[in-house]
Amino acid sequence: MTAPPTTMETARRGATTASPPAADRAQRQDAAHEAPATARPTRQDSAHEASAAARPTPQGTAHEAPRTARPGEPRALAAGVDDVPQVLERCRALVRPALVEAVGRLHPWVGEMAAYSFGWCEVGGAPAVASGGKGVRQALAVLGAEAAGAPERAGVAAAVAVELVHTFSLLHDDIMDGDGDRRGRPTVWKAYGTGPAVLAGDALFALAVETLAAQPGGAGAVRTLSVALGDLVRGQADDLLFADRPWTGPERVRPDEYRAMAEHKTGALLGCAAALGAVLGGAGPETVAALDRAGRHLGVAFQIVDDVLGIWGDPRVTGKPVHGDLREGKKTFPVLVALGSPMGGRIARLLESGDAPETAATLIEEAGGRSAALAEARRHITAVETALADVPSTARAAGELRSLLGYLVRRDV
């Protein structure tokens, strides 16, 4: 996950001020794909440079028809969730030109790999129309700045930095996990090779630091990012070590260890995104800390909901095979809770053998693993709401931020 200093220095020395062809094509694609005011947003990043008419309506009106809160879900997080695609669209359209410009400063070959990872091009640089994700973290950065009372543009550099770091972490995660596909395409290490993928990840990390350092107040932003990256590495290390620990006995993984891992691996960067926007927006330390705390609790809830979906989710919705996490032997929160029950021995034997994942799923649910996981997710969602109560902000900024956080745990991200 971390980038070796010597490699990062090499990436900096190899950088060029000329935009690589892939970045130039991405900019041309932006213009070609601008949607008319009546167009519906699509899932593809290349179509997300919509006109100003696609932005959310003025204060309050975007949230006049809140959906009903789910059982155990705070009403404030439920409100306005259905309007979140508009919020994501607005933030992507704001951030995308700066992100393309930043990638354009990389070495052309490294820039091509970065553009490929964002879904802007194919191997070799040919233009692509591929989903690069919803841009959740960059939206958190923009909304964090707005929640601090700053204009939306104050969060752009934070959004670019977080998006670069997130992509850097995905490039290295895919190598460590041996994943060959991401969003329906070969991962960067599969498409370009392991060494080039590591180099591209290192370059993105260096570019993120450079982007923040160049901003007014950049020193504080870099410190915030550094803390998050340290936690991210810690969480990834724990996650890798969990795979080699036994299912039972004194060395087994405990639920509290899992919570810490999820906060570090998933929550640290979500908290950092919102906090960085606030830092560059001139917020005080209490506001920055509250946004970081909200993101970290969100990360735990997000990860636990993902665990539930990984065992019991509908494959038509999740895109994952039924009982996929059990077949892969993942130590997820519902499983860890169930292993501590009187049925734990039988469940452990099934997991060790890899046989009958359907039976294992049934036993885990009967042992209380599913209900305990959902209760734990609700507890962290409540903690998110508590943290946000400490953030002074306009009604619109607060509403959009709460809507986005509720959307993440609703969820199909």
Q: Tell me the backbone φ, ψ of residue 127, rounded to 5 degrees.
A: -55, 145
One-letter amino acid for residue 202 of the chain:
D
Query: What is the mean pLDDT of the segment spanning 334-338?
Result: 97
Structure tokens at 103: 């990638």
200 contacts 117 by C-beta, under 8 angstroms: yes
Average pLDDT, the chain: 81
Q: Residue ranges of the alpha helices (H) in 178-267?
A: 188-192, 194-213, 218-242, 255-262
How high is the pLDDT of residue 205? 97
Query: Which tens digit of pLDDT belongs to each residue from 104-113?
Result: 999 999 999 9
Per-residue pLDDT band for 186 (boundaries 50, 70, 90) equals very high
Indicate the DSSP class of residue 53: G
Query: Which tens digit of pLDDT belongs to each residue from 29-42?
Result: 444 333 333 333 33
Residues forming a β-bridge with 121: 127
| pTM of the predicted structure, to 2 decimals | 0.78
With 50 as the cut, is the pLDDT of residue 213 above it? Answer: yes
Query: Which tens digit of pLDDT belongs to each residue from 266-308?
Result: 999 999 999 999 999 999 999 999 999 999 999 999 999 999 9
With 60 as the cut, is the pLDDT of residue 61 above it? Answer: no
Query: Which tens digit of pLDDT belongs to each residue from 139-179?
Result: 999 999 998 889 999 999 999 999 999 999 999 999 998 99
Structure tokens at 247: 């299912």
How high is the pLDDT of residue 393? 75
Distance of CA 238 to the CA centre of its chain: 18
